Amino acid sequence: MSSENSTLPDAGAAGAAAAEGVSRPVLRRLLRDRRFLAGAAVVIFIVLGSALGPLFRDAMTTPDTDTLMSGPSAAHPFGTDELGRDILARVVGGSVVILQVAAVAVGISLVAGTALGLLAGYRGGWVDAVLMRVVDGLMAFPLLVLALTIVAALGPGLRNALIAIAVVLTPRFARVVRAEVLSLRSREWVSAARIVGVPSRAVMLRHLLPHLSGTLLVFAALQLSTAAMAEASLSFLGLGIQPPDSSWGAMVASGVTRLETNWAMAVFPGLALLLTIAAFNLLADALRDALDAHGPEEV
């Protein structure tokens, strides 16, 4: 997103970068990139926090009835919520949800979208035509609106929100992979593999797929922030995670109605969200520049 030159995706460079995956020079470039270091630091911090999450279960759920809705203090650095629960503990505990949903939803859509994209791009013909029309149709929905519609069908809840996010992201992966496969399909090594009788499945999985790794890595990193934002939005609307469980989006929602009595309830989980999503964006930007694989801009 922040790359200075707005050159079009260069299939050659992207392919070459993809072929080498995250190799030594790429890693060196990443480690020199301040965006990567900042993003990685935040993500590591949050992963550690989410690993500590279970330790906070008691603090998260045990009300301290002496201090309801208090502002930040020594005993409760982020203050307490309407039930006297420690907000810091809840923010730390809530990190698990967003990381899990983002990772799992992106993982599912990565696999499903890659499979569909490979099939459409490699097979061509009516398979391609049908799949791509479906992709066009699904991508015509604004992201959150499609996710809402799916949740409307399946019913509210974190698992359904996760399914909705995965479904929403799948066509994006399919489209990117298909475009990449189309540019690779006419290469000599693909024809060579076909001529010597390598079955289609093997051409797709063993010959084409490895060349997609760079593009997929960058694109998946970009979608992490989209998935995290979607989970937060659905939970904020009350359609994602359901009480008594909570995630940052849901915490902001309950804080918003109580801004006048305790601003800390909305502000701290919101800051955690902002930091996480910014970190995902920075990582994706740095990865893209390091691999020189210019994925499509955020849709």
Partner 1 sequence: MTTYVLRRLVQLVPVLAVVAVALFVLLRVLPGDPTTAILGLEATDEQRAALRADLGLDQPLWNQFATWVGGVVRGDLGESWITAEPVGGVIADRLPATVQLMVFSLVLAVVIGIPAGVVAAVRQRSGTDSVLTGLSVFGLAIPNFFLAALLVLVFAVWWGVLPASGYVAIGDDLVGNLTRMVLPSVTVGSTVVAVAMRQTRGSLLAALGEDYVRTARATGLSRRRTVVVYALRNALVPVVTVVALQVGVLMSATVTTETIFALPGMGTLVVNAIFARDLPLVQGAVLVIVVFVLLVNLVADLIYAWLDPRIVY
Residues lying near partner 1 in the complex (CB under 8 A): 1-6, 133-134, 136-138, 140-145, 148-154, 156, 225, 229, 232-233, 236-239, 249, 252-253, 255-256, 259-260, 263, 266-267, 270-271, 273-274, 277-278, 281-282, 297-299
Is residue 89 within 8 A of residue 60, CB to CB? The reply is yes
DSSP reduced 3-state for 157: coil
Helix axes 34-52, 87-123, angle to 10 degrees: 120
Structural tokens at position 284: 């994706």
CA distance 257 to 275: 23
- Report the residue number, 208 or 232, with the smaller CB distance to partner 1: 232
Q: CB 252 → partner 1: shortest distance, Å?
A: 6
CA distance 178 to 114: 8
- Report the residue number, 15 or 113, with the smaller CB distance to partner 1: 113
Question: How far from 239 is each of 46, 86, 148, 249, CA to CA, in Å?
Answer: 24, 24, 8, 11
Q: CB 206 → partner 1: shortest distance, Å?
A: 32
HSE (side-chain half, CA atoms, 13 Å) at 223: 30
CB burial of 224-255 (b: ≥16 within 10 Å; e: otherwise) equals bbbbbbbbbbbbbbebbbeeebbbbbbbbbbb
- Report the residue number, 75 or 299, with the smaller CB distance to partner 1: 299
Q: CB 141 → partner 1: shortest distance, Å?
A: 6
Q: CB 75 → partner 1: shortest distance, Å?
A: 23
Q: CB 250 → partner 1: shortest distance, Å?
A: 11
- Report the residue number, 92 or 151, with the smaller CB distance to partner 1: 151
CA distance 11 to 13: 6
- The Cβ of residue 10 has, within 10 Å, a number of other Cβ atoms equal to 13
- Report the residue number, 215 or 233, with the smaller CB distance to partner 1: 233
CA distance 59 to 61: 6
Structural tokens at position 93: 């505990």
Q: CB 240 → partner 1: shortest distance, Å?
A: 12
Looking at the chain, how many residues does it have?
A: 299
Q: CB 227 → partner 1: shortest distance, Å?
A: 13
Question: Residue 142: phi, psi to the nearest 5?
Answer: -60, 140
Q: CB 124 → partner 1: shortest distance, Å?
A: 17
Is residue 15 within 8 A of residue 211, CB to CB? The reply is yes
- Report the residue number, 100 or 149, with the smaller CB distance to partner 1: 149
- Report the residue number, 204 or 273, with the smaller CB distance to partner 1: 273
- Report the residue number, 56 or 268, with the smaller CB distance to partner 1: 268
- The Cβ of residue 68 has, within 10 Å, a number of other Cβ atoms equal to 15
